Amino acid sequence: MMFNKAYSIMKSCNLSGVIENKIDDLIAKKYSQHPYSTSLKLDNIELALSQALAISQSCPYLFAGALNNLLFNCIREGRVIDKKIEATSSVSIFLSWDESGSYNKTKLLGDKALPLILNSDEFHANILKSDLRKIFKKEIVPYYSKNVAAYLKEIASALSNTNDLKRCAALLAFEIHAEIVSKVLWDKIVEIFPYIQKHELAFFELHVGENPAEELHVEMTKSMIKIVVETCLLYTSDAADE
């Protein structure tokens, strides 16, 4: 899993720039071609997209819920809530806010958009549902398969872990994987369904189109590395000197 490899890189490096380069190299060597790029066909793409819909639907709850568990893990372990926890929490809070569609509303309308956040039509999962309706001419239901449930549980556990490197690695791996999968799914949809034009798929246009949200999400989580990873290693070095 990408999370475990990212965590190993973070533990072994001492500069955020080195970590970013190694992670980019890892992606190029190990994850440049997602299995979906060769395995998705007409007979299985609906299943894949119903699982993607489940993951999209889970995102706001996954990121927000992990912070609750992180708080109580800190209380139980006597862990001080410091800048590193606040940095990863800021990313989780933003991702939850963004996946609910609220970020785009407030970006466009400012404070006037606040009453509009109660309209859930622009939850990203609901935008994806609308795209899938165009493709399949029917309602697609999120499919929380055993693999999807296991993946979400592993990510949730890592996001609420008091180990700063594990939280950081989980956020970074989740966003990088989301970007890769979204690009592959977008390409495969228009390949398998010729009557669908790329620009018609609002979910994919939003995430990996001309002004891609996922690319910005990845950059944001990479910026988090400098705060979390280098601070962790500085503390480790100071402790060793003592």
Residues 110-169: tens digit of each pLDDT: 999 899 999 999 999 999 999 999 999 999 999 999 999 999 999 999 999 999 988 988
- Average pLDDT of span 196-216: 83
- Average pLDDT of span 175-184: 88
Question: Would you list the DSSP string of 172-208?
Answer: HHHHHHHHHHHHHHHHHHHHH-TT--GGG-HHHHHHH
Instruction: Give a yes or no: residue 192 inside a domain.
Output: yes
Task: List the one residue out of 166, 157, 161, 177 whose CA is nearest residue 218.
Answer: 177
pLDDT tens column, 67-85: 999 999 999 999 999 989 9
- Average pLDDT of span 167-187: 88
- Average pLDDT of span 18-26: 58
Instruction: Give a yes or no: residue 107 inside a domain.
Output: yes
Report the C-alpha gap between 151 and 148 in whole angstroms.
Answer: 5
Q: What is the pLDDT of residue 238?
A: 37
DSSP assigned state of 41: -
- Average pLDDT of span 170-190: 90
Higher pLDDT, 72 or 20: 72
Residue appearing with tokens 């402790």: 239
Give CA 118 to chain center in angstroms.
23
Instruction: Give a yes or no: residue 124 inside a domain.
Output: yes
Predicted structure pTM score? 0.81
Q: With 60 as the cut, is the pLDDT of residue 234 above it?
A: no
Instruction: Give a yes or no: residue 112 inside a domain.
Output: yes
**Domain residues for 172?**
2-10+41-237
Q: How confident is the model at residue 23 (pLDDT cuts 50, 70, 90)?
A: low
Q: Rg of the chain over CA atoms, in angstroms?
A: 19
Q: With 50 as the cut, is the pLDDT of residue 27 above it?
A: yes
Report the C-alpha gap between 69 and 65 in whole angstroms.
Answer: 7
Q: What is the pLDDT of residue 71?
A: 97
**How many Cα atoms are found within 13 Å in the side-chain-facing hemisphere of 216?**
10
Q: How confident is the model at residue 239 (pLDDT cuts 50, 70, 90)?
A: very low
Number of Cβ within a 10 Å radius of residue 13: 19
Instruction: Give a yes or no: residue 16 inside a domain.
Output: no
Instruction: Give a yes or no: residue 32 inside a domain.
Output: no
Residue 19 DSSP SS3: helix
Q: With 60 as the cut, is the pLDDT of residue 9 above it?
A: no
Q: What is the pLDDT of residue 173?
A: 83
CA distances from 175 to 60, 168, 171, 222 (A): 13, 11, 6, 10
Instruction: Give a yes or no: residue 189 inside a domain.
Output: yes
Q: What is the pLDDT of residue 216?
A: 66
Q: How confident is the model at residue 183 (pLDDT cuts 50, 70, 90)?
A: very high
Number of domains into which the chain is organized: 1
Q: Average pLDDT, whole number, for the chain?
A: 83
Q: With 80 as the cut, is the pLDDT of residue 222 above it?
A: no
Q: What is the pLDDT of residue 13?
A: 52
For 139, list phi and psi in degrees, rounded to 5.
-80, 130
Instruction: Give a yes or no: residue 229 inside a domain.
Output: yes
Report the C-alpha gap between 70 and 13 in whole angstroms.
Answer: 25
